[in-house]
Homo-oligomer: A and B are copies of this chain.
């Protein structure tokens, strides 16, 4: 299939080029995100000091803005990096962690969407609903609204924000408004490890650093995530060892795995 070939080619390119992904991300997942990016073949850098934002963002092939443990100073850095990225044509992926849970998060998300205009917004159903509707209360950073319920809101958001919206869930949906892809790969244990969503965001940025079409990049990242989750679940039945096997799977995933496992709905 055309999509499979494209992904296999992009993955090869990713491993060859090792795109530098600049992450302004939350404390909880910095280590696991960095490891996931290295495992798939990218080069991570985590940096948030306002003093170095323009310089660091300029070096990168893609930028991740993840608001998981935000504070005032970091929001400033997010805007600085985001604006630099836009100026230089570097793709930006936003993860609105916990949007809807607090006003600070919802407002920060809105501001970044308006000011930075990210190419991809990647979150769970609750977060996407919260952004689209404003005023929806999520239960912390977990997904309480199913991806399906959030899909209509996501299409609306994609049009209004002129962005690809990528929702993770039992089925992942990637939409740019009129066009939507559904990915049914994955495994329930992925929800039992912290930061799986943040990893999906980081991989989306890694692929956006390789394939200039954000819709394709977002799809490819979710397929790789889902397949790696399935590979890991074949070797582990609980979260601790599953996480290690998941990183192993990102490192090992190849054309054969992609051809055999990618399930389109």
Q: Which A residues have a C-beta under 8 Å from some C-beta of B?
A: 18, 20, 22, 26-32, 34-35, 38-39, 43-49, 51-52, 55-56, 59-60, 68-73, 98, 101-105, 137, 139-142, 192-195, 236-241, 243-249, 251-252
Residues of chain B within 8 A of A60, CB atoms compared = 140
Interface core residue of A26, A35, A140, A244 (most chain B CB under 10 Å)? A140
List B contacts of A39 (CB < 8 A).
192, 238-240
Q: How many copies altogether?
A: 3
Contact of A141 among B45, B49, B240 (CB under 8 A): B45
Alpha-carbon distance between A104 and B80 when the two chains are bound, in angstroms: 15
CA distance A48 to B73 in the complex (A): 13
Contact B29 A48, beta carbon cutoff 8 Å:
no
- Cα distance, A29 to B27, chains bound together (Å): 10
Set of chain B residues within 8 Å of A104, measured between Cβ atoms: 49, 51-52, 55
Expressed in whole angstroms, the minimum distance between the Cβ of A241 and any Cβ of chain B is 5
Inter-chain contact B35/A243, CB cutoff 8 Å = yes
A38 and B190 CA atoms in complex are apart in Å by 11
Among B27, B55, B240, the residue within 8 A (CB) of A243 is B240
Determine which of B28, B193, B248 lies in contact with A46 in the assembled complex, contact meaning CB atoms within 8 Å: B28
Cα-based distance from A103 to B53 in the complex (angstroms) = 11
Contact of A52 among B102, B141, B245 (CB under 8 A): B102
Query: Which residues in B have their C-beta under 8 angstroms from that of A237?
Result: 248
Partner of A194, one of B44, B56, B192, B249: B44
Of the residues B28, B71, B103, B245, contact of A34 by C-beta under 8 Å = B28
